[in-house]
Amino acid sequence: MKGLWVPLFWFLAFSNTILSQSLVEPNQNFLWESFSFRFPEPVVVKIESTLQKKLTVYPAKRDGFFMVVRILPWSEPITDKSFWTQSVFHKPIEPKQLERVVLGKTFRIYQADQIRNQNALRNQVWIQMDAKPYLWIWLQWKTDRKELSDFFESNLFLSL
């Protein structure tokens, strides 16, 4: 049994490796892979190497939102709305699905509010539909932070 742990350790170490972590200032274009993002306040971005490429964004100074970005190996998400509302959102309030075109790219957006730890949160999952590589973005922010709602719902985070 002892011999099994060493290969397992190395597999886990190389399958989920943090490649970099850095501070990004507000409204600065941040390039990752072939995509460009902007953030409403100073953030820490963490680039990870997993089975899929992953970018995680956290506020640097105060609580309020986070963002996870992945590149998907497939083009069409599962279109069963109940799958998304049950697997992506925890106890969703008024889940919706809509499509939006941003800078010529089409995104399917799944959106729902929720209450977690006495915080009212807005959740959105953006899935790019019409170009490779396919982009998956999960946003969550506190709804009492009006400036974050304005920023994310106006697509200002995408500067593709």
- pLDDT band, residue 149 (cuts 50/70/90): very high
What pLDDT digit, counting tens, does each position of 12-37 carry?
444 455 567 889 999 899 999 889 99
Q: Which domains does the chain have, with CATH numbers?
A: 17-153 (3.40.1000.10)
Taking the C-alpha atoms of residue 100 and residue 120, their distance in angstroms, rounded to an integer, is 24
What integer pLDDT is reported at residue 144 of this predicted model?
92
What pLDDT digit, counting tens, does each position of 118-147 carry?
889 999 999 888 877 788 899 999 999 999
- Of residues 159 and 3, more confidence is placed in 159
What pLDDT digit, counting tens, does each position of 74-103 carry?
655 555 555 656 666 777 888 888 999 998
Question: Above 70 in pLDDT, residue 72?
Answer: yes
Buried b (16+ CB within 10 A) or exposed e, 72-103: beeeebeeeeeebbeeebeebeebeeeeeeee
DSSP for the chain, please give it: -HHHHHHHHHHHHHHSEEEEEEEE-TT--EEETTEEE--SS-EEEEEEESSSEEEEEEESSS-SEEEEEEEES-SS----HHHHHHHTSSS-EEEEEEEEEETTEEEEEEEEEEEETTEEEEEEEEEE-SSSSEEEEEEEEETT-HHHHHHHHTTTTB--
